[in-house]
Structure 1
Amino acid sequence: MLKFFRKIRQNLISEGNTGKYLKYALGEIVLVVIGILVALQINNSNEVRKTRDKELIYLNNIKEDLRLNIVELEEYSVSRDEAINSIALLMGFFEGKKDLNLNKFNLNNLNVLVWYPFIQNANTYQELMNSGNLSLIANKEIKNELQNMQKSYERIKFIENEMQQDYESYLYDPYFSTADLNTNLKNYSQQLNNEKLNSKEELEIDPSEVVTLLNNRKYKNGLVLASYNSDLLKVEYQSMIVRAQRLIELIDNESNK
Protein backbone atom coordinates (compact mmCIF):
# COMPACT_ATOMS: atom_id res chain seq x y z
CA MET A 1 0.00 0.00 0.00
CA LEU A 2 2.83 2.40 0.87
CA LYS A 3 4.55 1.61 -2.44
CA PHE A 4 1.31 2.39 -4.26
CA PHE A 5 1.03 5.86 -2.66
CA ARG A 6 4.73 6.52 -3.22
CA LYS A 7 4.39 5.70 -6.93
CA ILE A 8 1.47 8.12 -7.28
CA ARG A 9 3.51 10.93 -5.65
CA GLN A 10 6.48 10.26 -7.92
CA ASN A 11 4.30 10.35 -11.06
CA LEU A 12 2.73 13.67 -10.00
CA ILE A 13 6.14 15.20 -9.33
CA SER A 14 7.59 13.93 -12.62
CA GLU A 15 4.65 15.42 -14.47
CA GLY A 16 5.30 18.76 -12.77
CA ASN A 17 1.71 18.92 -11.58
CA THR A 18 2.37 20.70 -8.28
CA GLY A 19 -1.30 21.57 -7.62
CA LYS A 20 -2.46 18.00 -7.93
CA TYR A 21 0.51 16.86 -5.82
CA LEU A 22 -0.38 19.23 -2.99
CA LYS A 23 -4.02 18.15 -3.09
CA TYR A 24 -2.95 14.52 -3.03
CA ALA A 25 -0.50 15.11 -0.17
CA LEU A 26 -3.21 16.87 1.80
CA GLY A 27 -5.61 14.01 1.16
CA GLU A 28 -2.98 11.51 2.28
CA ILE A 29 -2.46 13.46 5.53
CA VAL A 30 -6.21 13.47 6.10
CA LEU A 31 -6.33 9.70 5.57
CA VAL A 32 -3.47 9.19 8.04
CA VAL A 33 -5.20 11.39 10.64
CA ILE A 34 -8.47 9.53 10.13
CA GLY A 35 -6.61 6.23 10.55
CA ILE A 36 -5.05 7.43 13.81
CA LEU A 37 -8.41 8.65 15.12
CA VAL A 38 -10.05 5.32 14.23
CA ALA A 39 -7.26 3.45 16.00
CA LEU A 40 -7.62 5.66 19.07
CA GLN A 41 -11.38 5.15 19.05
CA ILE A 42 -10.95 1.38 18.89
CA ASN A 43 -8.39 1.52 21.70
CA ASN A 44 -10.68 3.72 23.81
CA SER A 45 -13.60 1.37 23.16
CA ASN A 46 -11.49 -1.56 24.32
CA GLU A 47 -10.49 0.31 27.49
CA VAL A 48 -14.10 1.27 28.17
CA ARG A 49 -15.15 -2.35 27.71
CA LYS A 50 -12.41 -3.58 30.06
CA THR A 51 -13.38 -0.99 32.66
CA ARG A 52 -17.04 -1.96 32.35
CA ASP A 53 -16.16 -5.64 32.74
CA LYS A 54 -14.25 -4.85 35.96
CA GLU A 55 -17.15 -2.75 37.21
CA LEU A 56 -19.63 -5.57 36.59
CA ILE A 57 -17.41 -8.04 38.44
CA TYR A 58 -17.25 -5.69 41.43
CA LEU A 59 -21.01 -5.09 41.32
CA ASN A 60 -21.72 -8.82 41.23
CA ASN A 61 -19.38 -9.43 44.18
CA ILE A 62 -21.02 -6.59 46.13
CA LYS A 63 -24.40 -8.19 45.47
CA GLU A 64 -23.18 -11.53 46.82
CA ASP A 65 -21.88 -9.79 49.98
CA LEU A 66 -25.25 -8.09 50.39
CA ARG A 67 -27.14 -11.37 50.07
CA LEU A 68 -25.01 -12.90 52.80
CA ASN A 69 -25.62 -9.85 54.97
CA ILE A 70 -29.38 -10.09 54.50
CA VAL A 71 -29.44 -13.74 55.62
CA GLU A 72 -27.33 -12.98 58.69
CA LEU A 73 -29.21 -9.80 59.57
CA GLU A 74 -32.49 -11.69 59.51
CA GLU A 75 -31.01 -14.29 61.86
CA TYR A 76 -29.64 -11.60 64.17
CA SER A 77 -32.98 -9.84 64.15
CA VAL A 78 -34.66 -13.08 65.26
CA SER A 79 -32.08 -13.52 68.04
CA ARG A 80 -32.80 -9.99 69.33
CA ASP A 81 -36.53 -10.79 69.32
CA GLU A 82 -35.83 -13.93 71.33
CA ALA A 83 -33.73 -11.96 73.82
CA ILE A 84 -36.48 -9.36 74.24
CA ASN A 85 -39.06 -12.11 74.85
CA SER A 86 -36.75 -13.84 77.33
CA ILE A 87 -36.21 -10.60 79.23
CA ALA A 88 -39.97 -10.02 79.40
CA LEU A 89 -40.39 -13.46 80.97
CA LEU A 90 -37.53 -12.83 83.43
CA MET A 91 -39.12 -9.54 84.45
CA GLY A 92 -42.16 -11.56 85.50
CA PHE A 93 -39.93 -13.47 87.91
CA PHE A 94 -38.25 -10.29 89.18
CA GLU A 95 -41.58 -8.59 89.82
CA GLY A 96 -43.25 -11.66 91.33
CA LYS A 97 -45.87 -11.84 88.58
CA LYS A 98 -44.87 -15.41 87.71
CA ASP A 99 -44.14 -18.40 89.91
CA LEU A 100 -40.40 -19.06 89.86
CA ASN A 101 -39.35 -21.92 87.59
CA LEU A 102 -35.60 -22.58 87.90
CA ASN A 103 -35.24 -24.19 84.48
CA LYS A 104 -37.15 -21.43 82.71
CA PHE A 105 -35.14 -18.81 84.55
CA ASN A 106 -31.86 -20.45 83.53
CA LEU A 107 -32.93 -21.00 79.91
CA ASN A 108 -34.12 -17.45 79.36
CA ASN A 109 -31.35 -15.86 81.39
CA LEU A 110 -28.60 -17.54 79.36
CA ASN A 111 -30.56 -16.83 76.18
CA VAL A 112 -29.98 -13.16 76.99
CA LEU A 113 -26.37 -13.51 78.18
CA VAL A 114 -25.19 -15.50 75.15
CA TRP A 115 -25.05 -13.17 72.15
CA TYR A 116 -22.74 -12.27 69.25
CA PRO A 117 -22.10 -8.96 67.47
CA PHE A 118 -22.99 -8.70 63.80
CA ILE A 119 -19.97 -8.82 61.46
CA GLN A 120 -20.67 -7.27 58.08
CA ASN A 121 -19.68 -9.05 54.87
CA ALA A 122 -17.96 -6.14 53.12
CA ASN A 123 -14.88 -7.69 51.50
CA THR A 124 -15.65 -6.24 48.08
CA TYR A 125 -16.31 -2.74 49.42
CA GLN A 126 -13.08 -2.81 51.41
CA GLU A 127 -11.19 -3.97 48.33
CA LEU A 128 -12.66 -1.08 46.32
CA MET A 129 -11.62 1.40 49.00
CA ASN A 130 -8.14 -0.02 49.61
CA SER A 131 -7.31 -0.32 45.90
CA GLY A 132 -8.72 3.08 44.97
CA ASN A 133 -11.07 1.40 42.50
CA LEU A 134 -14.27 2.89 43.90
CA SER A 135 -14.22 5.23 40.89
CA LEU A 136 -14.94 2.18 38.72
CA ILE A 137 -18.52 2.27 40.03
CA ALA A 138 -20.04 4.79 37.64
CA ASN A 139 -23.56 4.81 39.05
CA LYS A 140 -23.65 7.57 41.69
CA GLU A 141 -26.77 6.18 43.35
CA ILE A 142 -25.02 2.84 43.91
CA LYS A 143 -21.99 4.64 45.36
CA ASN A 144 -24.20 6.65 47.72
CA GLU A 145 -26.06 3.56 48.88
CA LEU A 146 -22.78 1.74 49.49
CA GLN A 147 -21.62 4.59 51.72
CA ASN A 148 -25.00 4.71 53.48
CA MET A 149 -24.67 0.98 54.18
CA GLN A 150 -21.37 1.66 55.92
CA LYS A 151 -23.01 4.37 58.03
CA SER A 152 -25.76 1.93 59.02
CA TYR A 153 -23.12 -0.61 60.00
CA GLU A 154 -21.31 2.02 62.09
CA ARG A 155 -24.56 2.71 63.98
CA ILE A 156 -24.97 -1.01 64.62
CA LYS A 157 -21.41 -1.29 65.91
CA PHE A 158 -21.95 1.69 68.20
CA ILE A 159 -25.09 0.19 69.76
CA GLU A 160 -23.43 -3.22 70.10
CA ASN A 161 -20.41 -1.66 71.81
CA GLU A 162 -22.72 0.15 74.23
CA MET A 163 -24.59 -3.09 74.89
CA GLN A 164 -21.34 -4.97 75.47
CA GLN A 165 -20.29 -2.40 78.08
CA ASP A 166 -23.69 -2.68 79.77
CA TYR A 167 -23.43 -6.47 79.82
CA GLU A 168 -19.98 -6.37 81.39
CA SER A 169 -20.99 -3.82 84.02
CA TYR A 170 -24.53 -4.90 84.91
CA LEU A 171 -24.90 -8.56 83.91
CA TYR A 172 -21.65 -10.51 83.54
CA ASP A 173 -20.05 -9.25 86.74
CA PRO A 174 -22.90 -10.18 89.13
CA TYR A 175 -23.75 -13.37 87.22
CA PHE A 176 -20.25 -14.85 87.12
CA SER A 177 -19.68 -14.01 90.78
CA THR A 178 -22.92 -15.81 91.74
CA ALA A 179 -23.70 -18.67 89.34
CA ASP A 180 -22.17 -22.09 88.71
CA LEU A 181 -21.63 -21.59 84.98
CA ASN A 182 -20.72 -25.22 84.24
CA THR A 183 -23.95 -26.56 85.70
CA ASN A 184 -26.09 -23.83 84.19
CA LEU A 185 -24.65 -24.28 80.69
CA LYS A 186 -25.27 -28.02 80.88
CA ASN A 187 -28.87 -27.40 81.85
CA TYR A 188 -29.21 -24.76 79.13
CA SER A 189 -27.87 -27.12 76.46
CA GLN A 190 -30.25 -29.89 77.56
CA GLN A 191 -33.23 -27.58 77.28
CA LEU A 192 -32.18 -26.26 73.87
CA ASN A 193 -31.87 -29.81 72.60
CA ASN A 194 -35.27 -30.69 74.10
CA GLU A 195 -33.71 -33.32 76.33
CA LYS A 196 -36.01 -34.49 79.09
CA LEU A 197 -34.98 -33.14 82.50
CA ASN A 198 -35.52 -35.47 85.41
CA SER A 199 -36.09 -34.29 88.96
CA LYS A 200 -32.40 -34.56 89.81
CA GLU A 201 -31.39 -32.39 86.86
CA GLU A 202 -33.98 -29.81 87.86
CA LEU A 203 -32.22 -29.52 91.21
CA GLU A 204 -28.92 -28.82 89.43
CA ILE A 205 -29.97 -25.18 89.22
CA ASP A 206 -29.16 -23.82 92.66
CA PRO A 207 -32.22 -21.93 93.95
CA SER A 208 -30.03 -19.69 96.11
CA GLU A 209 -28.17 -18.47 92.99
CA VAL A 210 -31.41 -17.53 91.29
CA VAL A 211 -32.77 -15.80 94.39
CA THR A 212 -29.52 -13.83 94.73
CA LEU A 213 -29.85 -12.61 91.14
CA LEU A 214 -33.53 -11.81 91.58
CA ASN A 215 -32.65 -9.60 94.54
CA ASN A 216 -29.91 -7.81 92.63
CA ARG A 217 -31.26 -4.46 91.40
CA LYS A 218 -28.16 -3.92 89.26
CA TYR A 219 -28.80 -7.20 87.46
CA LYS A 220 -32.43 -6.33 86.83
CA ASN A 221 -31.42 -2.94 85.42
CA GLY A 222 -28.90 -4.69 83.17
CA LEU A 223 -31.67 -6.82 81.72
CA VAL A 224 -33.79 -3.71 81.11
CA LEU A 225 -30.88 -2.11 79.24
CA ALA A 226 -30.34 -5.31 77.27
CA SER A 227 -33.98 -5.25 76.16
CA TYR A 228 -33.74 -1.58 75.19
CA ASN A 229 -30.54 -2.04 73.17
CA SER A 230 -31.88 -5.22 71.56
CA ASP A 231 -34.89 -3.27 70.37
CA LEU A 232 -32.60 -0.56 68.92
CA LEU A 233 -30.50 -3.18 67.18
CA LYS A 234 -33.55 -4.88 65.70
CA VAL A 235 -34.59 -1.56 64.14
CA GLU A 236 -31.08 -1.05 62.70
CA TYR A 237 -30.91 -4.63 61.41
CA GLN A 238 -34.22 -4.21 59.59
CA SER A 239 -33.14 -0.85 58.19
CA MET A 240 -29.94 -2.37 56.88
CA ILE A 241 -31.88 -5.24 55.28
CA VAL A 242 -34.05 -2.72 53.41
CA ARG A 243 -30.95 -0.82 52.27
CA ALA A 244 -29.29 -4.03 51.10
CA GLN A 245 -32.37 -5.08 49.13
CA ARG A 246 -32.57 -1.63 47.54
CA LEU A 247 -28.89 -1.78 46.61
CA ILE A 248 -29.28 -5.22 45.04
CA GLU A 249 -32.13 -3.83 42.93
CA LEU A 250 -29.96 -0.92 41.79
CA ILE A 251 -27.10 -3.26 40.91
CA ASP A 252 -29.41 -5.55 38.91
CA ASN A 253 -30.74 -2.55 36.97
CA GLU A 254 -27.21 -1.29 36.30
CA SER A 255 -25.94 -4.73 35.26
CA ASN A 256 -28.78 -5.16 32.77
CA LYS A 257 -27.99 -1.95 30.89
Structure 2
Amino acid sequence: MIKFFRRIRQQLLTEGKFSKYLLYAIGEIVLVVIGILIALAANDWSIEKAERLQESKYLKNIKLDLEKDLASLEYNIGFRREKIAGTEKLIAQINGTPVDDLTELSRNVFNTLNEERFTPNNSTYTELASSGNLNLISVDSIKILLLELEELYKDNAFGIDHETYEYREYISKPVFKYMDTEKLAAIFIDGQSSAQQDISREDFQALFQSPEYKNGLVIMILISKSFISQYNEIADKSKMIITLIDRELSRREG
Protein backbone atom coordinates (compact mmCIF):
# COMPACT_ATOMS: atom_id res chain seq x y z
CA MET A 1 0.00 0.00 0.00
CA ILE A 2 2.85 2.39 0.87
CA LYS A 3 4.63 1.56 -2.43
CA PHE A 4 1.38 2.24 -4.29
CA PHE A 5 1.04 5.75 -2.82
CA ARG A 6 4.75 6.43 -3.43
CA ARG A 7 4.34 5.45 -7.09
CA ILE A 8 1.45 7.87 -7.54
CA ARG A 9 3.45 10.73 -5.98
CA GLN A 10 6.45 10.03 -8.23
CA GLN A 11 4.23 9.90 -11.33
CA LEU A 12 2.66 13.25 -10.50
CA LEU A 13 6.08 14.87 -9.98
CA THR A 14 7.41 13.35 -13.19
CA GLU A 15 4.45 14.75 -15.15
CA GLY A 16 4.99 18.19 -13.55
CA LYS A 17 1.61 18.19 -11.93
CA PHE A 18 2.85 19.84 -8.74
CA SER A 19 -0.53 21.28 -7.70
CA LYS A 20 -2.15 17.87 -7.98
CA TYR A 21 0.79 16.38 -6.10
CA LEU A 22 0.35 18.93 -3.33
CA LEU A 23 -3.37 18.19 -3.06
CA TYR A 24 -2.67 14.49 -3.07
CA ALA A 25 -0.02 14.87 -0.36
CA ILE A 26 -2.41 16.87 1.78
CA GLY A 27 -5.10 14.28 1.24
CA GLU A 28 -2.68 11.55 2.20
CA ILE A 29 -1.79 13.42 5.41
CA VAL A 30 -5.48 13.85 6.18
CA LEU A 31 -6.03 10.12 5.69
CA VAL A 32 -3.13 9.34 8.01
CA VAL A 33 -4.49 11.72 10.66
CA ILE A 34 -7.97 10.21 10.33
CA GLY A 35 -6.46 6.74 10.71
CA ILE A 36 -4.63 7.81 13.86
CA LEU A 37 -7.79 9.38 15.29
CA ILE A 38 -9.77 6.23 14.53
CA ALA A 39 -7.09 4.12 16.21
CA LEU A 40 -7.09 6.41 19.26
CA ALA A 41 -10.87 6.35 19.42
CA ALA A 42 -10.87 2.56 19.19
CA ASN A 43 -8.26 2.40 21.96
CA ASP A 44 -10.27 4.82 24.13
CA TRP A 45 -13.41 2.77 23.51
CA SER A 46 -11.56 -0.40 24.49
CA ILE A 47 -10.29 1.24 27.70
CA GLU A 48 -13.75 2.64 28.47
CA LYS A 49 -15.33 -0.77 27.93
CA ALA A 50 -12.81 -2.43 30.25
CA GLU A 51 -13.39 0.23 32.92
CA ARG A 52 -17.18 -0.16 32.71
CA LEU A 53 -16.85 -3.94 33.05
CA GLN A 54 -14.63 -3.42 36.09
CA GLU A 55 -17.10 -0.87 37.48
CA SER A 56 -19.99 -3.33 37.07
CA LYS A 57 -17.98 -5.93 38.99
CA TYR A 58 -17.34 -3.45 41.80
CA LEU A 59 -21.00 -2.39 41.89
CA LYS A 60 -22.15 -6.00 42.21
CA ASN A 61 -19.68 -6.61 45.05
CA ILE A 62 -20.74 -3.41 46.81
CA LYS A 63 -24.35 -4.57 46.57
CA LEU A 64 -23.44 -7.93 48.13
CA ASP A 65 -21.60 -6.14 50.96
CA LEU A 66 -24.57 -3.89 51.64
CA GLU A 67 -27.04 -6.77 51.63
CA LYS A 68 -24.95 -8.50 54.29
CA ASP A 69 -24.90 -5.23 56.24
CA LEU A 70 -28.68 -4.94 56.12
CA ALA A 71 -29.06 -8.38 57.69
CA SER A 72 -26.50 -7.47 60.37
CA LEU A 73 -28.19 -4.12 61.03
CA GLU A 74 -31.58 -5.77 61.43
CA TYR A 75 -30.14 -8.17 64.01
CA ASN A 76 -28.29 -5.41 65.89
CA ILE A 77 -31.35 -3.16 66.00
CA GLY A 78 -33.43 -6.04 67.39
CA PHE A 79 -30.73 -6.84 69.94
CA ARG A 80 -30.53 -3.21 71.07
CA ARG A 81 -34.29 -2.84 71.41
CA GLU A 82 -34.56 -6.02 73.45
CA LYS A 83 -31.68 -4.91 75.64
CA ILE A 84 -33.25 -1.49 76.19
CA ALA A 85 -36.50 -3.12 77.32
CA GLY A 86 -34.67 -5.36 79.82
CA THR A 87 -32.50 -2.49 81.04
CA GLU A 88 -35.47 -0.19 81.59
CA LYS A 89 -37.09 -2.92 83.69
CA LEU A 90 -33.86 -3.25 85.69
CA ILE A 91 -33.79 0.48 86.41
CA ALA A 92 -37.43 0.38 87.51
CA GLN A 93 -36.63 -2.49 89.88
CA ILE A 94 -33.61 -0.63 91.25
CA ASN A 95 -35.96 2.30 91.87
CA GLY A 96 -38.35 0.11 93.85
CA THR A 97 -40.60 -1.80 91.46
CA PRO A 98 -41.20 -5.28 92.98
CA VAL A 99 -39.26 -8.19 91.47
CA ASP A 100 -41.74 -10.92 90.57
CA ASP A 101 -39.50 -13.10 88.36
CA LEU A 102 -35.95 -13.82 89.57
CA THR A 103 -35.12 -15.87 86.46
CA GLU A 104 -36.01 -12.94 84.20
CA LEU A 105 -34.05 -10.57 86.45
CA SER A 106 -31.02 -12.86 86.27
CA ARG A 107 -31.23 -12.91 82.46
CA ASN A 108 -31.53 -9.13 82.27
CA VAL A 109 -28.52 -8.59 84.54
CA PHE A 110 -26.37 -11.02 82.57
CA ASN A 111 -27.54 -9.44 79.30
CA THR A 112 -26.14 -6.09 80.44
CA LEU A 113 -22.71 -7.69 80.03
CA ASN A 114 -23.32 -8.61 76.39
CA GLU A 115 -21.85 -6.31 73.80
CA GLU A 116 -23.00 -6.57 70.18
CA ARG A 117 -21.14 -4.62 67.54
CA PHE A 118 -22.14 -3.72 63.99
CA THR A 119 -19.09 -4.21 61.77
CA PRO A 120 -19.70 -3.09 58.17
CA ASN A 121 -18.77 -5.30 55.23
CA ASN A 122 -17.06 -2.48 53.35
CA SER A 123 -14.11 -4.43 51.91
CA THR A 124 -15.06 -3.52 48.32
CA TYR A 125 -15.24 0.20 49.11
CA THR A 126 -11.97 -0.01 51.04
CA GLU A 127 -10.30 -1.68 48.06
CA LEU A 128 -11.63 1.02 45.73
CA ALA A 129 -10.46 3.84 47.97
CA SER A 130 -7.03 2.38 48.79
CA SER A 131 -6.26 1.51 45.16
CA GLY A 132 -7.28 4.92 43.86
CA ASN A 133 -10.01 3.34 41.73
CA LEU A 134 -12.95 5.14 43.34
CA ASN A 135 -13.25 7.23 40.17
CA LEU A 136 -14.26 4.05 38.36
CA ILE A 137 -17.71 4.60 39.90
CA SER A 138 -19.16 6.79 37.17
CA VAL A 139 -22.58 7.36 38.78
CA ASP A 140 -22.11 10.40 41.00
CA SER A 141 -25.16 9.69 43.18
CA ILE A 142 -23.77 6.26 44.08
CA LYS A 143 -20.33 7.66 44.79
CA ILE A 144 -21.70 10.43 47.03
CA LEU A 145 -23.82 7.99 49.04
CA LEU A 146 -20.84 5.65 49.46
CA LEU A 147 -18.76 8.53 50.84
CA GLU A 148 -21.59 9.49 53.22
CA LEU A 149 -21.91 5.87 54.30
CA GLU A 150 -18.19 5.72 55.04
CA GLU A 151 -18.57 8.73 57.36
CA LEU A 152 -21.36 6.92 59.21
CA TYR A 153 -19.07 3.90 59.57
CA LYS A 154 -16.47 6.15 61.18
CA ASP A 155 -19.09 7.51 63.59
CA ASN A 156 -20.08 3.93 64.39
CA ALA A 157 -16.47 2.97 65.15
CA PHE A 158 -16.08 6.02 67.42
CA GLY A 159 -19.32 5.17 69.21
CA ILE A 160 -18.18 1.60 69.79
CA ASP A 161 -14.94 2.80 71.39
CA HIS A 162 -16.91 5.12 73.68
CA GLU A 163 -19.46 2.44 74.57
CA THR A 164 -16.75 -0.13 75.31
CA TYR A 165 -15.29 2.14 77.96
CA GLU A 166 -18.71 2.75 79.54
CA TYR A 167 -19.46 -0.99 79.64
CA ARG A 168 -16.18 -1.93 81.26
CA GLU A 169 -16.25 0.90 83.77
CA TYR A 170 -19.90 1.08 84.86
CA ILE A 171 -21.48 -2.27 83.95
CA SER A 172 -18.92 -5.06 84.05
CA LYS A 173 -17.09 -3.98 87.20
CA PRO A 174 -20.17 -3.84 89.49
CA VAL A 175 -21.59 -7.10 88.12
CA PHE A 176 -18.29 -8.93 88.54
CA LYS A 177 -17.92 -7.47 92.03
CA TYR A 178 -21.38 -8.22 93.41
CA MET A 179 -22.77 -11.14 91.38
CA ASP A 180 -21.86 -14.78 90.69
CA THR A 181 -21.64 -14.59 86.90
CA GLU A 182 -21.32 -18.38 86.63
CA LYS A 183 -24.85 -18.76 88.00
CA LEU A 184 -26.16 -15.96 85.81
CA ALA A 185 -24.58 -17.54 82.72
CA ALA A 186 -26.24 -20.88 83.49
CA ILE A 187 -29.60 -19.12 83.46
CA PHE A 188 -28.99 -16.91 80.41
CA ILE A 189 -27.10 -19.42 78.24
CA ASP A 190 -28.26 -22.84 79.46
CA GLY A 191 -31.87 -21.88 80.19
CA GLN A 192 -31.83 -22.85 83.86
CA SER A 193 -34.05 -21.16 86.44
CA SER A 194 -33.06 -18.99 89.39
CA ALA A 195 -34.30 -21.76 91.70
CA GLN A 196 -31.99 -24.29 90.02
CA GLN A 197 -29.07 -21.93 90.60
CA ASP A 198 -30.22 -21.08 94.14
CA ILE A 199 -30.45 -17.37 93.42
CA SER A 200 -32.51 -15.18 95.78
CA ARG A 201 -33.54 -11.51 95.86
CA GLU A 202 -30.80 -10.85 98.39
CA ASP A 203 -28.18 -11.77 95.78
CA PHE A 204 -29.07 -8.62 93.86
CA GLN A 205 -29.17 -6.26 96.83
CA ALA A 206 -25.57 -5.04 96.67
CA LEU A 207 -25.71 -4.60 92.88
CA PHE A 208 -28.93 -2.61 93.11
CA GLN A 209 -27.32 -0.31 95.67
CA SER A 210 -24.40 0.46 93.34
CA PRO A 211 -24.79 3.98 91.87
CA GLU A 212 -22.17 3.09 89.23
CA TYR A 213 -24.33 0.25 87.95
CA LYS A 214 -27.52 2.29 87.81
CA ASN A 215 -25.75 5.18 86.06
CA GLY A 216 -24.18 2.69 83.67
CA LEU A 217 -27.64 1.33 82.81
CA VAL A 218 -28.95 4.82 82.09
CA ILE A 219 -25.96 5.53 79.83
CA MET A 220 -26.41 2.13 78.15
CA ILE A 221 -29.98 3.02 77.16
CA LEU A 222 -28.95 6.41 75.77
CA ILE A 223 -26.10 4.88 73.77
CA SER A 224 -28.27 2.05 72.43
CA LYS A 225 -30.96 4.49 71.29
CA SER A 226 -28.28 6.53 69.55
CA PHE A 227 -26.96 3.42 67.81
CA ILE A 228 -30.45 2.39 66.69
CA SER A 229 -30.93 5.81 65.09
CA GLN A 230 -27.53 5.52 63.42
CA TYR A 231 -28.20 1.97 62.24
CA ASN A 232 -31.49 3.05 60.67
CA GLU A 233 -29.69 5.84 58.82
CA ILE A 234 -27.04 3.39 57.58
CA ALA A 235 -29.78 0.97 56.49
CA ASP A 236 -31.66 3.71 54.61
CA LYS A 237 -28.54 4.82 52.72
CA SER A 238 -27.61 1.20 51.99
CA LYS A 239 -31.04 0.54 50.49
CA MET A 240 -30.77 3.70 48.38
CA ILE A 241 -27.39 2.59 47.03
CA ILE A 242 -28.68 -0.91 46.26
CA THR A 243 -31.63 0.60 44.34
CA LEU A 244 -29.30 2.85 42.33
CA ILE A 245 -26.93 -0.04 41.60
CA ASP A 246 -29.81 -2.26 40.42
CA ARG A 247 -31.03 0.54 38.18
CA GLU A 248 -27.58 1.14 36.71
CA LEU A 249 -26.81 -2.55 36.12
CA SER A 250 -30.25 -3.07 34.57
CA ARG A 251 -29.64 -0.14 32.21
CA ARG A 252 -26.31 -1.61 31.10
CA GLU A 253 -27.57 -5.14 30.67
CA GLY A 254 -30.70 -3.95 28.90
Alpha-carbon deviation of 1:178?
1.7
Q: Does 1:97 align with 2:91?
A: no
State the partner residue of 1:231.
225
Distance 1:150 1:224 in 2: 29
- Opposite residue 228 of structure 2, the aligned amino acid is K
Q: Does 1:66 align with 2:66?
A: yes
State the partner residue of 2:203.
209
Contact 1:65-1:122 at 8 Å conserved across structures = yes
State the partner residue of 2:155.
155
State the partner residue of 1:188.
188
Alpha-carbon deviation of 1:218?
1.8
- Opposite residue 245 of structure 1, the aligned amino acid is K
Contact 2:110-2:188 at 8 Å conserved across structures = yes
Contact 1:142-1:251 at 8 Å conserved across structures = yes
Distance 2:194 2:158 in 1: 43
Distance 1:19 1:161 in 2: 82
Alpha-carbon deviation of 1:186?
1.4
Of structures 1 and 2, the one with the larger relative CO (CA 8 A, separation 6+) is 1
Q: Structure 1, residues 85-138: CA drift from partner, whole Å, max 9, x if none?
A: 111221232123233432111111122221222111110111111111112122
State the partner residue of 2:75.
75
Change (3 A) 1:171 1:245: same
Q: Does 1:178 align with 2:209?
A: no
Alpha-carbon deviation of 1:207?
4.2
State the partner residue of 1:141.
141
Alpha-carbon deviation of 1:202?
4.3
SS of residue in 2 equivalent to 1:190:
coil
Distance 1:40 1:87 in 2: 67
Distance 2:204 2:194 in 1: 19
SS of residue in 2 equivalent to 1:65:
helix
Distance 1:6 1:198 in 2: 103
What is the total number of aligned residue pairs between the two structures?
A: 251
Change (3 A) 1:218 1:198: closer
State the partner residue of 1:166.
166
Distance 1:14 1:159 in 2: 87
State the partner residue of 2:11.
11
Q: Does 1:120 align with 2:120?
A: yes
Contact 2:171-2:217 at 8 Å conserved across structures = yes
Distance 1:176 1:202 in 2: 17
Distance 1:171 1:27 in 2: 86
Q: Structure 1, residues 197-216: CA drift from partner, whole Å, max 9, x if none?
A: 494x141x354431211222
Alpha-carbon deviation of 1:183?
2.1
SS of residue in 2 equivalent to 1:177:
helix
- Opposite residue 145 of structure 1, the aligned amino acid is L
Contact 2:102-2:201 at 8 Å conserved across structures = yes
Which of 222, 234, 244 lines up with 1:240 in the alignment?
Answer: 234
Q: Structure 1, residues 204-243: CA drift from partner, whole Å, max 9, x if none?
A: x354431211222221121111111111111111111001
State the partner residue of 1:26.
26
TM-score (norm 2): 0.92
Alpha-carbon deviation of 1:180?
1.7
Contact 2:73-2:235 at 8 Å conserved across structures = yes
